[in-house]
Amino acid sequence: MKLFARSALVAATMLAPVSMAAAATTITQTSNFGPTKTETSFTGSLAGFDSSLGTLTNVLITYTFGFNSSGTVTNTAQQAQTFTAKEDVDGALTLSGSYSATGDLDPGVSQKYTNLGAGQSAAFGPFSFATTAQSTTFSFSSLTDDLSSFVNALNYQVDTQTGQGFTGGGGNTSASLNTTAQGTVSIAYTYDVAAAVPEPASWAMMVGGFGMLGGALRRKRGITVVTFG
C-alpha cells in the first residue's frame, strides 16, 4: 500500500507541468521628462517587447503631461480692475519607431482677481503638476491589430509651448510667471507565457512512473492462498 501511494505521488508530480495553462503577464516601462522650463522639447525611448517571454496580446501606451506655475499678476491701469488671468501649456507628442502617431494635451489654469488696485500686484498660483496633469492612451489588441512591430523600440518627442492671457477688466494688466512642464510616457506589454512542455527525459520519467503505478495496482489485487493439511 505504501508503494502504491508513492507511485501515485510520482505520477501526479510528473503530470503537473503538462496541465499548466498559459498565464497572462503584464510588464510596464515608464520614461519621465522634466520638470524643465517650457518652450522646449523632450525626447526619450522605451524598449521593444522581448518575444522570448511569450506571445504578445495587448499593448497600452499612456501619455501624461502637466505643468507647474507660480508668479505675480500686476494691474498697470490707473484704476482698480476685476479680471481673470489664464495660462495654458501645450504638450505636443510625436511617437515613432514601433508605432507612429501624434497626440496633444493642453492643460490650463485660471485665477480671478477682484478690484485689484491700480499699480498693485497679486500672486498667481502656485499650481502644481498634480492638479494640472492630463492623460491620453493608445491601446492595441492582437484580436484587431498587428503587434509584430512592437518588438522595436518606441521613441517619443514632446514639444511644449505656453500661452497667457486675461479676460475682463479694461486691459493694462501684466504677468510674470515661472512655468515648468513635465510628464511621463509609458508602455505596458501584456503577453501569454508559453506553457511548459516536458523534455524527453521528463517523458521517460513519466512513463516509468505510470509503470510503477501499474505494478503497485497488480500487487495490491493479488490473492495469496494458504493450504492446511
Please give the pLDDT value at position 167: 96
Candidates 101, 107, 30; CA nearest to 62 is 30
| Sign of the torsion angle spanned by Cα atoms 143, 148, 152, 157 | negative
The grid cell for 155 is 521613441
Question: If DSSP codes are grouped into helix, strand and coil, which group holds residue 152?
Answer: coil
Asked if 183 and 133 count as a contact pair (C-beta separation under 8 A), the reply is: yes
**Predicted pLDDT at 3:** 44
For residues 158 and 184, what is the distance between their CA atoms, to the nearest angstrom?
A: 10
Task: Catalogue the E-assigned strands of 76-128.
Answer: 81-97, 101-105, 108-116, 121-127
* Predicted local confidence at residue 171, as pLDDT: 83
Which of helix, strand or coil describes residue 86?
strand
Q: Which domains does the chain have, with CATH numbers?
A: 1-20+197-229 (no CATH), 23-195 (2.60.120.1540)
Question: Rounded to whole angstroms, how far apart are CA atoms 113 and 73?
Answer: 9
The predicted pLDDT at position 160 comes to 98
- pLDDT digit string (tens) for the chain, length 229 residues: 544 445 444 444 444 454 455 689 999 999 999 999 999 999 999 999 999 999 999 999 999 999 999 999 999 999 999 999 999 999 999 999 999 999 999 999 999 999 999 999 999 999 999 999 999 999 999 999 999 999 999 999 999 999 999 999 888 999 999 999 999 999 999 999 976 656 566 555 655 655 555 555 555 555 444 444 5
